[in-house]
A and B are shown apart, each in its own frame.
Chain A
């Protein structure tokens, strides 16, 4: 509380200083630490207040906690109106615990403003384009980094009944070892599935019965079963992860996804703002997914997720919580006792039924559920109307766009030197995926930092380490399902539930050759002397007896030490500048008219895209997400005798000087001025006139 008051005081001071026009380029911003909401707001207000011509600060909406979601507009006025310039959107912190993104975004803003006068590149961009920056999309959730008790949460603060037991947020984490951090517990348990990793005793891995290994430990979230339902910490405070709440591959009914697409005020605020900014040509987000360090492979798929096994092992113990009380013998209707053999009682779900249930609700809503014994009275197609062919939205990068993405990825790696992904998650429902698949522009996500490159010969076959292909994530959904299924088996008591989740499954349990991500993370922390791992310490647990609390510290695996912000920020800013250098630019390359006699004139035009990117990507054309470039001859429609129509739509025009030609035969008078208008949604506009002779 005191911290908050202090922060507001600081805000006030900053605001006051900004108001009095302190400094020409603003106060020096402090990038040696992570900033809470008040501090971040002050930084933004300071930047905008001291650079009124270049920077506009607006609130795009309020969070549940009534905090403003900030957006900066950075552009030099003059020339083309700012709203009509091609724009780059930089957005961060959709996932609450990804704070480094916020810092990088603010750093870029600061960098652009500071260098406008001195750096010709920056000046050129801000004179011709516009850069929008939303540094903290989920401020309510982000603030928990400064809470007395820290645990890794990606969500906002919307109360959410995670286990759907009619009680909301009733079983959150409990800090058993009183270190202010929520990690995991390991418990000696003959029913446990895990053993201490012989090569790294701080870590655990799954025992392999085929090698004669016997599980010795169970792993749980740090906490107590407060609602006595047999699960530990299955329903903590909040919420919805904003990067799971957008529409592309929306993970229906999965954890953190919310009750429905765009259910959250943060999501809605961003989308409403996007609708008002159709000039956005590219999106760069900082978050827990990546398509820059490892670009999509040649079939357009992103690299697979990399998560911390210790955390996923603990998470697996609660995945069955929202299934307690499902029974398969419900199908009564007309019969006593539920129709299945009268006195059958509550049936325990068989594996087969379970897999059906999983297919029905656990994962995708693509169910085909109820397939067995289905009796359908509703009439089958008798309609005279033709059936529309079933179509599905694209889920891989359009073949026409892959080369652009890979080229840009190579440049990202070159500029930033980042080659090894830190933790990444599958981007179901993520904003940047919406940006590409539905908004139709180049759209990137990067954690904004990387782990040291894994050396070859150390026996670490991590995907993507050479900047090449990531392993196709196709199996992700299935392994996830399997994990939940395994967790479900012991769900009733919940004490034994455990399983292997996507992360470890994707990495393969092949033991020797595939090094776990946990080990890689730990090596990095050791090398960089990062205090990111809580050593296992014995604690008396009220229900489980003696347990050991330890594991990765929340935030430590997601965010690098603050000392690195400035160095990382500079290369990210350079990358942002590089992105804007690629923007398409349409113009009228040629416009001429020749008299044909009899009051007829031949009018010819060539439209050119002098930029690098096409006016619309392949996916934008497929999804009709970007408007066609309009080429319109400003004459009365009836004066056109033949040739092109008055109004023409160019779906896309490739970059690097690609041209398209138009040709009209019109009726007019010598001395008339004929005008040609070209309007593009994301590549500028142009106007030219010619006097008829």
Chain B
């Protein structure tokens, strides 16, 4: 009793305080207009809806609107054609004032290789939009855009994306290269049919009171259940809405395509019987070929994100156990980013594809990591956990009488939160073959694997945030102190500090021995200078105080030292040269994925 009163009083007090605050604020607003400080956010330059889904053409149109709005930074390039002739676009974000795109580390963001996994494309839209709207507003964004480059492929499977929107088919995972799914020597000849023209292939049932073998479930009348032995129901089930287009006795058995575009990349590619959906050879699909060619033409790509759905995962390779786990130093970089991602993305877990999800051969990020030396993640966007997120609601789902117990929760969400947008109710239909039947009992495709529309913006923002962290942590070479001191005569000793302050290495350990990335080059230029020796030391001061024997860098040409392992993440190293000569000396460290840095010294 006492407690309750106390609470009420507290609430009243808080309310009063709140009112007071509003009054104070109102009082402070000067007459005659709002100042920037207390007004709404400044308006956006480009308006894009993040609470509705965009088909391929609409998404491309939005990208081109942004290209027009920010022509200096945004370029939309066509990098290839899909099987059905749609453009595959890559959007480049680069600030030309800080150098051409190829001179800076680039983050590749691609999405939607599975046509039905549409929200990845929405994040791509959001990322371009957010970076541009906030360039000059938020220092972090400004710095990122100035220092890094973004290549964004919003859909690598535009045919599949479009099919997802246009067709009544429940799945549009595949692309549209025809495949004879049922091995009858005909291709894609028995697609799903939408008899009642409402855009969804539904179930069919016939009402036969007292004679059927199905009944309405007590849990929810929308659920059909088989009747137990000895009882009779009121319905029989007639299967899916389709027709046997090819008269072979099977219904809807050969839809468009019939493969998995994300098994067609050229690392650990395995034939169909080992990896189903792999197609006949890697990069057979025009979409995969276009992407592989694009990435080959951009060796500056140092990070990649490939958006998929769903399950709430931050995935890294390898996709198959047989290729072996990554070396420890690569895993350290992955872990650092993956753990950060788990903090940015509630309900997402950081896991390895083969051990945490399933085995994938010939997947995109396996190829980018092992074949191209690009540190790569793949986010499985959206988790079913996000429907009922609070600990209280999660607890309540364990109560069998609750309307949000797992068997019912989907119907609850459909009815009370989405106002029936997702479930197709049973409706009467006059079937050419079966007479009067009922069609329905099916979920629309904009549920389950994709978030409710009103939750999409949060999904876009948090996933983008993780990807921007990765972009910020791509390698970046900086040169620290550089000193020269005379040893005697015209022989000098040089100390040069080289650092990579970011998480990712300039060359992944995994690919260092494989010739995948050109080695980092440490060059020393000087007209009248010969290099007597070069060696790595801990740091200049410790070395001078307590010299340890250093080993020569055992290479023929010490004016052009190759570092096949590059520079690890968060590492500073000091090189000591002993040189003979005079004049100016320029030391430069050049990496393919982390840029370059140099210093010039005078020998005196």
Contacts and interface: CB of A to CB of B under 8 A. Distances in A.
B260 interface: no
Q: Which DSSP category, helix, strand, loop or mixed, fits chain A's interface? A: loop
Interface in B529-584: 535-539, 542-543, 548, 550-551, 553-557, 561-574
Contact of B355 (A357, A368, A381): A381
A323 B183 contact: no
Interface in A541-594: none
Interface in B122-153: none
Given A376-B325, A377-B335, A649 B562 contact: no
Contact of A324 (B270, B284, B514, B562): B562
Contacts of A274: 280
B248 A337 contact: no
A379 B316 CA distance: 11
A324 B503 CA distance: 25
Nearest to B534: A346
Contact of A333 (B185, B556, B571): B571
B281 interface: yes
B358 A388 contact: yes
Q: Which of A274, A366, A637 has the most CB of B within 10 A?
A: A637
Q: Which of A332, A371, A393 has the most CB of B within 10 A?
A: A332
Interface in A241-262: 247, 252-253, 259-262
B443 interface: no
B536 A494 contact: no
Contact of A624 (B273, B323, B564): B273
A272 to B, nearest CB: 8
Contacts of A377: 331, 335, 338-339, 350
A31 interface: no
Interface stretch (A176-184, A281-289, A640-648): A640-648
A329 B247 CA distance: 67
Interface in B347-398: 349-352, 355-359, 367, 370-371
Contacts of A510: none
A322 interface: yes
A538 to B, nearest CB: 26
Interface in B310-352: 316, 320-335, 338-339, 349-352
Given A253-B516, A261-B266, A388-B359, A492 B554 contact: yes
A378 B352 CA distance: 6
Given A323-B513, A376-B325, A623 B272 contact: yes
Given A360-B510, A374-B325, A327 B282 contact: no
A337 B271 contact: no
Contacts, number: 292
Contacts of A252: 267, 514
Contacts of A185: none
Nearest to B182: A647
Interface in A323-339: 323-339
Nearest to B518: A166
A391 B268 CA distance: 13
B266 A263 contact: yes
A384 B108 CA distance: 31
B538 A380 contact: no
A217 B272 CA distance: 51
B183 A228 contact: no
A351 B389 CA distance: 54
Contacts of A380: 351, 355-356
Contact of B514 (A253, A325, A623, A630): A253
Contacts of A275: 280, 284
A165 interface: yes
Given A228-B556, A332-B568, A636 B247 contact: yes
Interface in B495-539: 503, 505, 509-516, 518-519, 521, 535-539
Interface string A145-177: 000000000000000010011100000000000
Given A348-B554, A375-B335, A332 B513 contact: no
B188 interface: no
Given A326-B564, A347-B551, A362-B513, A378 B519 contact: no
Given A161-B515, A348-B551, A378 B334 contact: yes
Interface string A610-625: 0000000000001111
Interface in B246-274: 247-250, 266-274
Contacts of A338: 536, 568, 571, 573
A419 interface: no
B248 A646 contact: yes
Q: Which of B267, B283, B284, B328 has the most CB of A within 10 A?
A: B328
Contacts of B323: 365-367
A229 B556 contact: yes
A679 interface: yes
Interface residues of A, number: 97
A224 B561 CA distance: 21
Contact of B281 (A247, A336, A383): A247
B234 interface: no
Interface string A300-327: 0000000000000000000000111111
Nearest to B296: A259
A598 interface: no
Nearest to B535: A345
Q: Which DSSP category, helix, strand, loop or mixed, fits chain B's interface? A: loop
A209 interface: no
A628 B512 contact: no
Interface string A655-681: 000000000000000000000000101
Contact of B185 (A369, A391, A622, A630): A630
Contact of A261 (B281, B356, B358, B543): B281
B329 A337 contact: no
Nearest to B571: A332
Interface string A378-413: 111111010110111100000000000000000000
A438 B271 contact: yes
B481 interface: no
Nearest to B515: A164
A247 B350 contact: no
A637 B324 contact: no
B244 interface: yes
B329 A346 contact: no
Contacts of B564: 164, 323-327
A637 B247 contact: yes
A206 interface: no
A372 interface: yes
A458 B255 CA distance: 66
A326 B270 contact: no
A360 B327 contact: yes
B274 A391 contact: yes
Contacts of B512: 326, 330, 361
Contacts of B58: none
In the complex, the 3 A-B pairs of residues with the closest C-beta atoms, listed nearest first: A332-B571, A361-B513, A370-B327
Interface of A: 161, 164-166, 228-230, 247, 252-253, 259-263, 268, 271, 274-275, 322-339, 342-348, 357-358, 360-362, 365-383, 385, 387-388, 390-393, 437-438, 492-494, 622-625, 627-628, 630, 632, 636-637, 640, 645-647, 649, 679, 681
Given A326-B512, A370-B510, A493-B556, 15 more contacts: A260-B292, A333-B333, A334-B570, A335-B571, A338-B536, A343-B538, A346-B553, A361-B512, A368-B325, A377-B338, A379-B350, A383-B357, A437-B271, A646-B249, A647-B250
Interface of B: 180, 183-185, 244, 247-250, 266-274, 280-284, 292, 296, 316, 320-335, 338-339, 349-352, 355-359, 367, 370-371, 503, 505, 509-516, 518-519, 521, 535-539, 542-543, 548, 550-551, 553-557, 561-574
26 contacts: A161-B518, A228-B556, A230-B555, A252-B267, A260-B283, A261-B282, A271-B281, A324-B555, A325-B519, A332-B570, A339-B568, A339-B571, A343-B537, A343-B538, A343-B543, A345-B536, A357-B513, A358-B513, A370-B326, A370-B327, A380-B356, A382-B351, A388-B359, A390-B321, A437-B271, A438-B271
